[in-house]
Structure formats: C-alpha cells, structure tokens
Structure 1
C-alpha cells in the first residue's frame, strides 16, 4: 500500500469515526436502538458498462454495482437499485429517496446542487468511437467538428454536453439511450460517438465492426464518483473509507480489468 493511499485511508477512517460519534451524541440511544435498518437505495441509469448495466432479468451488474453491493454488506443493510435516467437524475435523485447513485458518474459541478460526492475512485476521459471501415480520421476535435460529420450522443449526460460544446459545426443527433446508440454507428446512420474511454473499450468487444480511438489519450480527463444524498456525513465518511480500502488493496483495478483488461472475463 502506498504512503499516499495509506494517508487517504487514515483520513477517511478518522472522518467516519468522528461523524459517527457526533451522530451518536445527537440521537438518543433509545431512538438508535429502535431505528429500522432500511435498505440502501441506490439510483442508477444502468446503461453505462462497465460501471453499471441492467440485465434483461431486472438485475444489475458492473464495477459500480459490485461496489454498491459490497458497501451495503459492510453496513449490514439490504440493497435496492432504483432506475433513473441521466436527464432526470437531478430531479429524481432526492425525489426517489436515493442514498447513493452509481453507474459511471462524472465529477460535474452541476451535480453538486442535488447531491454530495464521494472521493474520486477513478479517472476517465472522452474518446471517439467510429467504424473500422470508415476511412475518415476522427482522431481530433477539429476533424470531428465539420459540417459533413454526423455526430451522435446520448441525451442528458456529459456526452451530450461535450458534443454540444466541441462539435457545433457537425451534424448532431441526440439519442434517447446509451445502449442502442452503437448500432447507429455500426449501421452507418452516424459517423462518430464520443464517450468515456472505459466504456468505449468495453463496447468494442460487443461491436467488432467499431473501433475506439486513442483510449489511452482521451480528449480530457475527469474523476468518477458516487453521488451521496445531501447532509449525510456518516454515510459519506463510511463510503469514502470503503472506497479508499478498495483502492488501496487493488480490488477496484482488478474489477475493472475483468471488464476491459486484455483477458477480460465479464460477458459483453
């Protein structure tokens, strides 16, 4: 374990202890004993592998899903996954009584208006996806931002924001979901989709006719976080301790490798 990670673990563990102590002093012991251990409610769009994806049987899987389940186990609480959309998350997160939200969520200032953030547990960046058979080079923003280029982006998230900001001269189509969007490129109805490099590396396993461009050198860089309901210092401190421990032991890296590593085993 590196000195930096050890320092993080120590800090968040101390914060968790302090927050729990404050809560214990503020709540009468009888109320604590009578408190019902409610299910941990976790919002997720469930359409952003390898972070989170909804299965046909109604279940969920992914790196973030495993984190959420592991955290619930540590708390000795059952878990309930609550479906939301990227566009509706800012209104639905509190309205649906969610404790957390997961699924490849980027550290975005506008999200701090309705939720608190965990510590950053990973980094990612936007990179293009295009057809192998397309001879056009879409490696740079300038090459994509042209009137003849058909850009597609899923509605309501950072992919739409990136496309609107960086490709004002291109033809932009907004797609309602993040699952079937790759078929639009594959079938030649769109030329390029710019999304998180981690997702791109996973998706091209499903769509061998597509290629992800320079995933190791994305256009930008941002942190991945878990959203936490507002004014929940104990929950936040406990979650950060859990995340720091998973990072320190390498468990997070191993989980991600199962999805996008050279010997990935998770089904696409």
Structure 2
C-alpha cells in the first residue's frame, strides 16, 4: 500500500513537471514567427476584406498588427465567417479571433477572452425618415415590420430571441446588408451600436442609428483566444499598455471618430 502511494505521488509529480515544461500557445506562436488571426472581413469598422486585393482593413486589423509587433511576429489573417467561426476555432485554424467579436458563454466554453476592448449593445438602424418609429422592441415587433439580419452571429440570435411578430429575413452578404434598408427592401436592422454609428456616417441623411447610447442590452467585445493562459496574459498586458501609451486611442480615432 505504501509503495503504491509513493508510486502515485511520484507519477503526479512527474505529470506536473511535464505540464510545467510543455510549450504554451504563446511559445508556439513565438517559435512559429506568425500570429494567426481569424477574421470574417465583413464587419466595418472592425474588419473588411477587399475581394480584389485580398487584403484586410479595419480597426481590429490595425490592432492585430500592433499585437503582432508587440509579439515580434508576423500576422497572418485567416478568413472565416460568423456561421463558421466556432468550427474554425475548434479546428485550431487560428490562434485568436478578432474583428468585432462579442463575448458569449458559448464562445467562452471553447476558449478564453481577453479583457474587453469595448462596451456594446444591440440597437436599431433604420432610414432616417423612419427613425422615430423604432424606439422600443414593442414598436419593432409588429406584423408588417421587416427586420434584416446577417446569419450566424449575435445579431441574428438577438433578433430571434426578441422578435415574434415582425418578419426576420436573413441576408447573407453582411457588406451589403445596410443597402437593403437604404433602398427600402427592409425596415431596420438591430446590431451593435458602434456599427450603427459607423453606417450612419457612411450613409449621411439616409440611415440613422436609433438611440446608440442606450442599447437594448449589454454586451462587450474582446479578443477570443485559444485556451492558453500565457497567451491571454500577454494579450491582456498588451491591451493595458496600448490604452495607457495612446496606441489604442490613436487606432480607435482613425476608425470611430
């Protein structure tokens, strides 16, 4: 019995020692020399993929490059989509997902989130002439109201959880979805307040954000990491320093102000 206990204790110590020396995801990234960043490329101002040049641009594109610089590695952008993102994450197609990713419990079960980068919430965007019609969910959830959503993300989830009487139509191209509202083929979309402000700026006098300062719910955006504490600690520290040294503010101003 004593020998068995000693053997078990030695095995546990050996296992702990091996775990301590096992390379972390951070170690792998540094050895590889590349940070793989998953992005949908369809969610300005956070991320947009130019189909002609196959290059990404946006707030989180610039943030990813800043993170890569802090790590001392190159950044490789890996295209994904909102319906496919979870599967790509589980398949280890990228080290980190960026591009306006909201914190959800389902995603938290699969990986880790950085400290939040932005406080958000769902709010409507509609034609400016109709802006006063959609202040509340009760005003939105009526027969005859046409709501457009992009598939697979938190926007569709929010709409289906809160809308029972109005029509919900899924539109697959998130880069053109706001044109559906502008030309009258949909009445509104409920999305993150930051996106409604940005689209309002892109469509002056045509599309208007509805109470973006008072969204319907509470949410936060962050960076979704493969489950590695060392990597999360690095990203959190980088975010902290970026907010203190002005890097975050400069990148934010370029896309949101």
CA RMSD between the two structures:
2.1
Q: Could you tell me whether the CA contact under 8 Å between 2:39 and 2:77 is conserved in 1?
A: yes
| Corresponding residue SS for 2:234 | helix
* Greater C-alpha Rg: 2
Aligned equivalent of 2:218: 221
Shift of 1:78: 1.0
| Corresponding residue SS for 2:90 | helix
Moved over 3 A (4+): 22-25
State TM-score, norm by structure 2. Answer: 0.85
Counterpart CA distance in 1 for 2:152 and 2:102 is 13
Aligned equivalent of 1:139: 135
Aligned equivalent of 1:71: 67
| Corresponding residue SS for 1:40 | strand
Counterpart CA distance in 2 for 1:162 and 1:36 is 41
Any residues of structure 2 matched to 1:2-41 within 5 Å, and which? 26=21, 36-41=31-36
| Corresponding residue SS for 2:99 | strand
State TM-score, norm by structure 1. Answer: 0.81
| Corresponding residue SS for 1:119 | coil
Shift of 1:124: 1.0
Asked whether 1:175 is paired with 2:159, we answer no
Q: Which moved more, 1:163-172 or 1:125-134?
A: 125-134
* Change in CA separation of 1:218 and 1:23 when aligned onto 2, cut-off 3 Å: farther
Aligned equivalent of 1:120: 116
Q: Which 5+ residue runs of structure 2 have no aligned equivalent?
A: 1-16
Any residues of structure 2 matched to 1:108-257 within 5 Å, and which? 108-134=104-130, 137-208=133-204, 209-230=206-227, 232-257=228-253
Shift of 1:207: 2.0
